[in-house]
Structure 1
């Protein structure tokens, strides 16, 4: 039975989440529509530009993303405590960047800002929304849908009504979800390696990498500057390259012999790591973590069981 997402992710709750948004009506978000032959490759730029704007406005850190032909993935960390530290002027400025006045003049921006700051209830709502996952996904999906519908000269839903979200309970779950997202083009057979995995966070990191940068701790690709995981950028890229060889159809490498040493921080057995990454998409449902984490979430939701408990037990 469908449950309100607020029961899983209460408004204002901090945490890291894996979100998936899919298109409807066989619509193609990006790429080439195999039914009509039309190319929508340019829409990938729309999504990445929108993500960059949202990361500058919301109290979030974007750890991974992948823009696919008819869906997108996002691993995002919410930091609602940051919103509570912002001055009213900063909240208003961020909100108006998201929802600018139709008359795009400096005077119009100033009037809208002053009106917002003069209304305590609206200010309180804007502050709460800038740290809310549902508002983040809404502000990502709606402008893309409007632009795509205008380009397709049609009306109606472009996205599925509800995005899917998984709570990532610990560092290992976050790392596995990031790898799952970054390796989406490779798993789908659309790319052979990270260099060909365009419009993913892995490609962004690889494109901007330097010898010194590989020694730095892994940082979000956009948003708040928080330490993501106890892993360096170079180690993460090496782990992705190796994992990609295991999950790419028909091109599996030697699991035990060639696993990067950094994997030992997160998973003692390389084969379990590969299984963990593969399971993110279909093995888990509302949360990814250890057995006890999943059982606690199930209890909070009033359930006796949660999909993923069996896999978590096997991978323990």
Structure 2
């Protein structure tokens, strides 16, 4: 039986989640339907634009994404502290960019006076909206509904465009996060849609690589792609919010991994990449297995045994699910 999202997603366990949504129709989300000759490639732009705009409203950042022919992958970071720091006015304004709100919220923004009972009722709404604006379920709902409406209008039809539930995996530690991001970024390379990671259209790795080429200090968070969660360097005291790795090291690691996965180019692991894998506590064979078949290596939870046990304690699981998978994937 499928567990509810509340039993799968907990920011106390981890703020990072890998989500996958698949198109339910035979017709493609993107690309060309070879049976009809109809090209849907422009829908990649729809999805990418909407995906990258939502972090401006939600307390959720994008660590990695890849838009494929009939599905897409995204690695999300929930910034709970950011949501808690918003004023009531900020919460209402953000919610109103998605929905009309209600009479009380509309009057509040106009500067109208609300009595005590009305203010109390509005406060309940505000806290509910604050929670939703840091919810992966609501993030994915807004994203998928917007694309479904556009696609249905273009196809002149009604009905479901996406499968009923998106798939989510909790990324419990730094090892799982790095491997999952590389797995997502290398999707087009594995599918022979691109020759190299930096030439794969509608992916986070291309955006990061393009920005890095144009930056004098590519590892500085302020000079990285603004629409994505930044790399903030190796773990240290007082490190800012972001991915704890150097961007240039990650790009080099993904490039080496992509060469191996293609099987037609020899790639020798660099000292930088070898150092990262050593710090993550995995060898190159484990890394390659995860970056090639991440979804098969893990189920709902991805990470080492200790990380899995801690997460299950937080979520009140009686037994850690997928324990053997975590043991075999990450020694």
TM-score (norm 1): 0.86
The residue number in structure 2 matching 1:275 is 289
| 2:322 maps to which of 298, 307, 310 | 307
Answer whether contact 2:218 2:247 (CA < 8 A) is retained.
Answer: yes
Structure 1 regions of 5+ residues with no counterpart? 102-108
2:181 equivalent to 1:174: no
Query: 1:220-262, CA deviations, whole angstroms, 9 ceiling, x for partnerless residues?
Result: 75266664333222211111111111222x3253455777344
Matches within 5 A, 1:231-270: 231-248=245-262, 250-251=263-264, 253-254=266-267, 260-263=273-276, 264-270=278-284
Match of 1:201 among 204, 213, 221: 204
CA contact (8 A) 2:61 2:228 kept: yes
Separation in structure 2 between the aligned mates of residue 167 and residue 219 of structure 1, nearest angstrom: 25
Does residue 186 (structure 1) correspond to residue 201 (structure 2)? The answer is no
- Whole-Å Cα distance in 1 between the matches of residues 143 and 267 of structure 2? 39
Deviates more, 1:229-238 or 1:70-79: 229-238
1:119-177 CA-partner distances (Å, limit 9, x unpaired): 22222211110011101110111010011011111111000000000000011111111
Question: Would you say the 8 A contact 2:209–2:251 is kept in 1?
Answer: yes
* Residue deviations 1:20-77 (CA, integer Å, cap 9, x gap): 0111022311111222221111111111111122110000121101111110111010
In the other structure, the counterpart of 2:60 is: 60
**What SS does the aligned partner of 2:218 have?**
helix
- Indicate if the aligned counterparts of 2:79 and 2:134 stay in contact, CA closer than 8 A: yes
List aligned pairs for 1:1-316, cutoff 5 A.
Answer: 1-10=1-10, 15-99=15-99, 113-114=109-110, 119-209=122-212, 210-216=214-220, 222=227, 227-248=241-262, 250-251=263-264, 253-254=266-267, 260-263=273-276, 264-297=278-311, 300=315, 302=317, 304=319, 306-307=321-322, 309-313=324-328, 315-316=330-331
Which stretches in structure 2 are left out of the alignment for 5+ residues? 231-239
Deviates more, 1:207-216 or 1:160-169: 207-216
Question: Aligned-pair distance for 1:295?
Answer: 4.2
Change (3 A) 1:159 1:96: same
Instruction: Determine if contact 1:255/1:271 at 8 Å carries over to the other structure.
Output: no
Going from structure 1 to structure 2, the CA distance change for 1:144 and 1:184 (only over 3 Å counts) comes to same
Q: TM-score, normalised by structure 2?
A: 0.83
Aligned counterparts of 1:52 and 1:156: Cα–Cα separation in 2:
26
- Aligned structure 1 segments of 4 or more residues deviating by more than 6 angstroms: none
Residues of 2 paired with 1:171 and 1:10: CA distance? Answer: 17
CA distance in 2, matches of 1:295, 1:12: 13
Deviation at 1:273, TM superposition (A): 1.4
Q: Supply the distance in 2 between the matched residues of 1:198 and 1:71 (Cα, whole angstroms).
A: 15
